[in-house]
């Protein structure tokens, strides 16, 4: 897995309008105990292989001196890699419908959102796709506190998707393509839920 592949996936998500401004971050696990993650504060629509940083999964720090500053959300990515040894990629984005659901959840003080009986749940790769309970984390200003909450709340068999209140969504999986697909499925679940809720109102 290379920085160019990360950049290509990021460009695709940017083109969909899910990484507005400099939003979003993507990473892949490397062999050993490190991961390659996008640099902080750069447009993910035009990053290149030079805009990725290798960080340690144990300490979330750049492996090499002089590297660009890694994503501000690196600690969330590394917490997920520690939690889920079979996961080799993490995608964080701000897709509009998932972010709207994250905002509504935060307003209601809800720490989960449940989706039931929607075919697209199957795209999340769950054993029982009839229902998925998606955790919603508080958007602490100090990002490592979000990572601490992730470590505390999630178990290895948790669904590979989460929302961050007032912020966005994070998904993970065995490959970058699967983590990206899961982001698309989560966004579709949120979009369908908001569309149907509005139609029924």
Ligand X SMILES: CSCCC(=O)C(=O)COP(=O)(O)O
Q: How far is CA 148 from the centre of its chain?
A: 16
| 167 in a known ligand binding site | no
- In the list Zn ion, ligand X, none, the entry touching 87 (Cβ below 5 to 8 angstroms by class) is none
In this complex, which beta carbon is closest to ligand X, that of residue 104 or of residue 146? 146
> Which of the stretches 16-24, 47-55, 173-181, 183-191 binds ligand X when contact is defined by CB under 6 A?
16-24
- How many residues of this chain interact with Zn ion, rule: CB under 5 A? 1
CB-CB contact of 79 with 60 (8 Å): no
Residue 22 beta carbon to ligand X: minimum distance, rounded to whole angstroms = 5
Please report the DSSP string for 7-67 in residue order: HHHHHHHHHTTSS-TT--EEEEEPSSSEEEEEBTTS-TTS--GGGEEEEETTT--BSSTTP
Question: How far is residue 101's CA from residue 191's CA, in Å, rounded to a whole number?
Answer: 9
Q: Which of 9, 34, 71, 99 binds ligand X (CB under 6 A)?
A: 71
Residue 109 beta carbon to ligand X: minimum distance, rounded to whole angstroms = 21
Beta-bridge mates of residue 107: none
Query: Binding of Zn ion at residue 168 (CB under 5 A)?
Result: yes
Annotated binding-site ranges for Zn(2+): 92, 94
């Amino acid at each position: 897995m290379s920085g160019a592949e990360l950049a290509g996936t990021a460009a695709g998500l940017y083109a969909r309008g899910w990484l507005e401004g400099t939003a979003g971050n993507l990473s892949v696990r490397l062999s050993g105990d490190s991961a390659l993650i996008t640099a902080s504060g750069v447009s993910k629509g035009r990053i290149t292989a030079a805009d990725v940083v290798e960080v340690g999964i144990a300490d979330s720090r750049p492996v090499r001196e002089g590297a660009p500053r890694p994503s501000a959300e690196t600690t969330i990515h590394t917490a997920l890699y520690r939690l889920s040894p079979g996961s080799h990629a993490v995608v964080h984005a701000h897709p509009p419908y998932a972010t709207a659901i994250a905002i509504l959840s935060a307003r209601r003080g809800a720490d989960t959102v449940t989706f039931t009986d929607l075919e697209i749940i199957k795209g999340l790769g769950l054993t029982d796709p009839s229902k998925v309970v998606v955790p919603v984390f508080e958007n602490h200003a100090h990002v490592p506190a979000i990572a601490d909450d992730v470590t505390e709340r999630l178990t290895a068999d948790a669904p590979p998707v989460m929302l961050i209140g007032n912020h966005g969504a994070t998904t993970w999986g065995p490959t970058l393509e699967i983590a990206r697909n899961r982001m698309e499925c989560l966004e579709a679940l949120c979009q369908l839920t908001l569309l149907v809720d509005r139609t029924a109102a």
